[in-house]
Structure 1
Amino acid sequence: MSALFTPLKLGSITISNRLGMSALTRNRSTETVPNDIMQKYYVRRAAGGAGLIVSEGTLIAPQGTEWPQAPGIWDKSQISGWKKITDAVHDAGSKIYCQIWHLGRLSHPDAPQQISAGVPVYGPSAISARGGKFRSIPGSSGYVTPTEIQDPAVLIAQFKEAAINAKEAGFDGVELHGANGYVVHQFLDSTANQRTDKWGGSVENRARFALEVLKALVEVWGPDVALKLSPAGGYNDMGMSLQDTIDTFGYLLREANKLGLSYVAFVRYSAFLDPEYDGKKRGTPHDVIGTFSPFLSDTPLFVNCGVTPEEAEQLVSSGAAAGVFMGMNWIAHPDVGRRVEAGKLLDNVPDYAHLYGAEGVDPALGYVDYKGAAY
């Protein structure tokens, strides 16, 4: 694993190795405020050899999320809670980005945070996503038809404010969540965005929102801005034809490559994350790395989704990727980096029953109770 465990300069920082921990929703904050058990969780993974940690999806404004204990970063209490975590992660020898996140049409108007926000559920167009399961709302409530946001600049300003807050909270950078059917992805996808103004229609117009958000983040963070994309995925009712996918994401990446980003992370196609609607998978399976890496001549590329340690070493040593992110392995193994470097197996079994916690259950279960390997 000699290539995987070499340092890498990303933006203004240097990470100690190329094995990162991807954003993982865990549903353990106190309402929307990061807390002590979250600090313990992140610190164990920093000490466990993560070259770079990306925080769980962090809401930029109150939204009716499916995850009622998802953290936010729009007020001082949240900034303070995150600051304790980022300081502790740095003390443990790692770096940490904040993944900033807006759900767009995947919110629900009856969720407490959406009610407190006093705004409707916004999407690029008044087109609802299929599916949805809102754990905090009684019954089988699913996604609703969103209100078309009249001025997307409102959301861009929220992303920029979140970036400012993330800097105050001590993060090393921000990762824009542009994957998995959330608001940035919704603007990109022609099945969710059918606007006729400058924010929809053509490839250039559908990519405008993502690029304008990235530019706003760069104004705050300079080179310490990253982007996560899932061009092949069908999660949350996404998916275009292959040619539209290539045209759209190719244009976006060609323009993003000019912005001096710290990295772009690609989520590869996963059948597990591709739901069926009317008997058909929603995504567009293809080789996202081979297809889109040529657009990133000046931007480091990270690979995410189902990467094994052996494949990670091959991707980095061959130059196909600057680094990799793992997700589920970091849930069940707080010491993935140290295990892989020492040649230990990743053989803990995730506690799926407590992956996202449960009301009335000790939040430590399936969260901070995994054992590390003995060296």
Structure 2
Amino acid sequence: MPSLFTPLQLGSITIPNRLGMSALTRNRASSLGTVPTELMKQYYEQRAIGGAGLIVSEGTLITRQGGEFVYVPGLWNKSQVAGWKKITDAVHAAGSKIYAQLWHLGRTAHPDTPEQIASGEPVYAPSALAARGGRFDFLPGNPKYVTPTEIQDPAVLIAQFKTAAINAKEAGFDGVELHGANGYLVHQFLDSGSNKRTDKWGSSVENRARFCLEVLRALIEVFGPDVSLKISPAAGYNDVGMELQESLDTFGYLLKEVNKLGLSYVALVRYTLFLDPEFDGKRRATEHDVLKSYGPSLTDTPIFVNASVTPAEAEELVSSGKVAGVFIGMGWISHPDLAKRIQAGRTLDNVVDWKTVYEGGSDPAVGYVDYESAVY
């Protein structure tokens, strides 16, 4: 696959190939404190050795207020920075590059989670509207999402993103990816169903896009050209999703403005059933071709696509010039040497054990760093 395995300039760095590893929630950090562990270092190092051109970290919380799961890493204190530094050093030594995905869950957090309680803050969101769904299995009674508190001044959240970026730079990351997908905080500001504000942060397309754009500008102040954005215009996950024309108008405007910022890339998540749950017997998302719909807005920004991309399709997309690169997620879970396998024409035959994808049970190494590899 000659096109897929050619170097690519992204911002100030060059990645060795066009096959990236997308952010994957794996829940292996320490408990209260959310510090990256030695086991996490082994996990990322394996995949760097396995040939990932660019690794994007699992969703990494920018603040103690904003958590949904246990064992999720953060980037708001020095212990976390030190833990991530070991990981970025190992990834670089293996010849790969790594971005930190900066994440705030907004209304999909729960007030009874340990980190939320420790924060002393309520669950914040653009508007006081609860998302349907949710399943907090680790809390008594398995509660669902609650009605959040409307954040009075979103600039407070923008400052938290910037602080996390400063910490990411200290931790040795090559750049940052803003998580603007899957119904989390940034997506909640963009979506008219979750954002009912009437101030400068809501109502019109321009106002709903403001938060995302202002966060990106804050991140650029820290990382310059090494800032990226991930969005999922065709996803219904976490109870977001607009009608087709409103989706086209909203994300079309956003990406035309993003294109002016000089980002290293934009990752477009394609429609997938996995990110489109049913509510009251109806799918939430509006299925449409995100590359065809929004690619023309990104004339000066490298595009990556994500979601159910096969190796053959990845080569075609890159060789045709439709995208600069691709991100694969699930394939990297069960194939730590995914890129090396694809390059060598080896079979992708390791099966994901869904029982150990998240947290991993009594032994967190199982289903995490013990998948078979031909590389090491």
* Fold in common (TM above 0.5): yes
In structure 2, C-alpha distance between the alignment counterparts of 1:345 and 1:66, rounded to whole Å: 36
In structure 2, C-alpha distance between the alignment counterparts of 1:64 and 1:9, rounded to whole Å: 33
Other-structure match for 2:63: 61
Structure 2: 5+ residue stretches without partners: none
- Read off the aligned partner of 2:27 and give its amino acid letter: N
- Read off the aligned partner of 2:316 and give its amino acid letter: Q
Structure 1 residue 358: Cα displacement: 4.3
Contact 2:66–2:104, Cα closer than 8 Å, also in 1: no
2:234 to 221, 232, 235: 232
1:108-163 CA deviation, whole Å, 9 max, x = no partner? 01111111111110010000001111132111201000000000000000000000
- Read off the aligned partner of 1:17 and give its amino acid letter: N
Other-structure match for 1:364: 365
1:172-228 CA deviation, whole Å, 9 max, x = no partner? 000000000000000000000000000000000000000000000001100000000
The answer to whether residue 38 in structure 2 is matched with residue 28 in structure 1 is no
In structure 2, C-alpha distance between the alignment counterparts of 1:179 and 1:83, rounded to whole Å: 26
Q: Map 1:327-346; keep pairs closer than 5 Å.
A: 327-346=329-348
Contact 2:64–2:115, Cα closer than 8 Å, also in 1: yes
The answer to whether residue 113 in structure 2 is matched with residue 106 in structure 1 is no
1:86-126 CA deviation, whole Å, 9 max, x = no partner? 00000000000000000000100111111111111001000
1:40-86 CA deviation, whole Å, 9 max, x = no partner? 00000000000000000000001363321000000000000000000
- Read off the aligned partner of 2:367 and give its amino acid letter: G
Q: Map 1:165-314; keep pairs closer than 5 Å.
A: 165-314=167-316
Contact 1:66–1:133, Cα closer than 8 Å, also in 2: no
Contact 1:64–1:109, Cα closer than 8 Å, also in 2: no
- Read off the aligned partner of 2:291 and give its amino acid letter: I
In structure 2, C-alpha distance between the alignment counterparts of 1:260 and 1:350, rounded to whole Å: 37
Contact 2:50–2:375, Cα closer than 8 Å, also in 1: no
Change over 3 Å in CA distance of 1:336–1:104 after alignment to 2: same
In structure 2, C-alpha distance between the alignment counterparts of 1:118 and 1:339, rounded to whole Å: 47
The answer to whether residue 13 in structure 2 is matched with residue 13 in structure 1 is yes
The ranges of structure 1 where at least 4 consecutive aligned residues each deviate by more than 2 angstroms after the TM superposition are 63-66
Other-structure match for 1:4: 4
- Read off the aligned partner of 1:369 and give its amino acid letter: D
1:344-363 CA deviation, whole Å, 9 max, x = no partner? 1111000111111245x100
Other-structure match for 2:124: 122
SS of the residue aligned with 1:9?
strand
Contact 1:21–1:53, Cα closer than 8 Å, also in 2: yes
- Read off the aligned partner of 1:367 and give its amino acid letter: Y
Structure 1 residue 235: Cα displacement: 0.5
Q: Map 1:151-166; keep pairs closer than 5 Å.
A: 151-166=153-168
In structure 2, C-alpha distance between the alignment counterparts of 1:218 and 1:299, rounded to whole Å: 15
Structure 1 residue 373: Cα displacement: 2.8
Contact 1:80–1:169, Cα closer than 8 Å, also in 2: yes
Other-structure match for 2:353: 351
- Read off the aligned partner of 2:368 and give its amino acid letter: Y
Contact 2:67–2:104, Cα closer than 8 Å, also in 1: no
Contact 2:61–2:67, Cα closer than 8 Å, also in 1: no
Structure 1 residue 272: Cα displacement: 2.2
1:317-369 CA deviation, whole Å, 9 max, x = no partner? 0000000000000000000010000011111000111111245x100010000
In structure 1, C-alpha distance between the alignment counterparts of 2:79 and 2:177, rounded to whole Å: 21
1:317 to 276, 300, 319: 319
In structure 2, C-alpha distance between the alignment counterparts of 1:33 and 1:136, rounded to whole Å: 19
- The worse-fitting range, judged by mean Cα deviation, of 56-65 and 160-169 is 56-65
Task: Work out the percentage of aligned pairs sharing the same amino acid.
Answer: 71
In structure 1, C-alpha distance between the alignment counterparts of 2:179 and 2:59, rounded to whole Å: 8
Contact 1:203–1:251, Cα closer than 8 Å, also in 2: yes
- Read off the aligned partner of 1:368 and give its amino acid letter: V
- Read off the aligned partner of 2:176 and give its amino acid letter: V
SS of the residue aligned with 1:258?
coil
1:263-283 CA deviation, whole Å, 9 max, x = no partner? 000110001220000110000
Contact 1:357–1:365, Cα closer than 8 Å, also in 2: no
Contact 1:189–1:238, Cα closer than 8 Å, also in 2: yes
Contact 2:360–2:368, Cα closer than 8 Å, also in 1: no
Residue-pair matches, total:
374
SS of the residue aligned with 2:316?
helix
SS of the residue aligned with 1:353?
coil
Contact 1:218–1:225, Cα closer than 8 Å, also in 2: yes
Q: Map 1:90-101; keep pairs closer than 5 Å.
A: 90-101=92-103
* TM-score where L is the length of structure 1: 0.99
SS of the residue aligned with 2:260?
helix
